[in-house]
Amino acid sequence: MTDQSYNFAYLDEQTKRMIRRAILKGIAVPGYQVPFASREMPMPYGWGTGGVQVTAACLTPEDRLKVIDQGADDTTNAVSIRKFFQRTAGVATTEATAEATLIQTRHRIPEHPLTEDQILVYQVPIPEPLRFLEPRETETRKMHSLEEYGLMHVKLYEDIARHGSIATSYAYPVKVEGRYVMDPSPIPKFDNPKLGDCPALQLFGAGREQRIYALPPHTQVVSLDFDDHPFQATKAPHDCDLCGASESYLDEVIVDDAGNRMFVCSDTDFCRSRREAGHAGRLTMQEAAE
């Protein structure tokens, strides 16, 4: 069911054009935050208005859309955004990563490798990687233009001095093509290695902060670190209790009042397709045995 009272994918064509210009500029200068005249959307700021606007500007009627939040297709906000585009654009949707042409995500990169026929759109709360070191936008823009990233390295160094390792576990800063330091959105640092040399186009939209940035296909993306403290992509030291995967990012779920836990893939599509292919984890094997 498409809602005919709004333009295709909700935004009017002039607005989409303005957003596409910002996207093109972002692609031309990878990692640079392009200001854009973000619109008020019919969902609140913080719910993914930036990602929704980027998706709206990129969608064509032929697209097949997948929306995930925390890696899952069935979390409430993913459902809500998917429904929004079903209603306003009438596009086909899917939960299968490989079948999607455009994937909007919050906080995860899918486990299944992406291809050059896909666009990955990230929802970004705070696009400025230097924000928590310097609250003023006027200052941070200057720091980016002068490539003055000393403050960030000092922060990482202080982490090591104080805690023995870098105490950032998500939204872990990266350097793009040796130039701009970029916030990869609050993905776990486990996902950082997938940012670099990715065949898909990666677009980042921050609605409230009015910024769009991009990683064109096969861009060099390096997570910040030191030679003697190299970057490490970490996850819970377990296998998925449902599909047995050892290399996927896991959610920890408290399963009873005694505080017992299970670990399951955060990427629901990845987990399901593995189970369908016959893989099993600790709990599925237990169930089968019972």
We find the least distance from the C-beta atom of residue 71 to another protein, in angstroms, to be 6
- In the complex, the smallest distance separating the C-beta of residue 119 from another protein, rounded to whole angstroms, is 21
Q: Which residues contact 111 (CB under 8 A, 6 or more apart)?
A: 97, 245, 247, 248, 249, 265, 267, 270
Q: Helix or strand or coil: residue 11?
A: coil
Residue 50 is a catalytic residue: no
Amino acid at 3: D
Among 111, 86, 63, 98, smallest CA distance to 10 is for 86
244 is catalytic: no
Q: Rounded distance, CA 39 to CA 210, Å? A: 9
198 is catalytic: no
Which is closer to another protein, CB of 105 or CB of 202?
105
What is the spatial distance between Cα 161 and Cα 281, in angstroms, rounded to a whole number?
Answer: 39
271 in active site: yes
* Residue 244 Cβ vs another protein, minimum distance, rounded to whole Å: 19
Angle between helices 13-28 and 49-58 (to 10 degrees): 100
Catalytic, out of 51, 205, 240, 244: 240
* Given the residues 26, 71, 265, 281, the one annotated as active site: 265
List 31, 48, 51, 205, catalytic entry: 31
Q: Which of 26, 58, 271, 281 is catalytic?
A: 271
* Interatomic CA distance for residues 20 and 200, integer angstroms: 17
Which is nearer to another protein, 26 or 219 (by Cβ)?
A: 26
Kindly tell me which of 249 and 270 has the beta carbon lying closer to another protein: 249
**Residue 30 or 50: which CB sits closer to another protein?**
50
User: Least distance (Å) from another protein to the CB of residue 42?
Assistant: 5
How wide is the angle at C-alpha 125 spanned by C-alphas 120 and 130, nearest 5°?
105
- Residues forming beta bridges with residue 104, ordered by sequence position: 67, 121
Measured from the CB of residue 137, what is the shortest distance to another protein in angstroms?
6
Rounded Cα gap, residues 119 and 201, in angstroms: 5
Summarize as ranges the residues that interact with another protein (CB under 8 A).
6, 12, 35-42, 44-47, 49, 69-72, 74-80, 83, 107-108, 125, 136-138, 163-165, 167, 169-171, 186-190, 208, 210-211, 234-236, 249-257, 266, 268
Q: Which of 26, 71, 198, 243 is catalytic?
A: 243
Of the two residues 55 and 219, which places its CB atom closer to another protein in the complex? 55
Residue 138, number of CB atoms within 10 A of its CB: 7
Cβ 117 to another protein, closest distance in Å?
26
Per DSSP, 48 falls in state S
Ramachandran assignment for 70, one of left (phi > 0), alpha (psi -120 to 50 degrees), beta (any other): left
For another protein, give the closer residue by CB, 149 or 249. Answer: 249
Query: Among all residues, which ones are annotated catalytic?
Result: 31, 240, 243, 265, 271
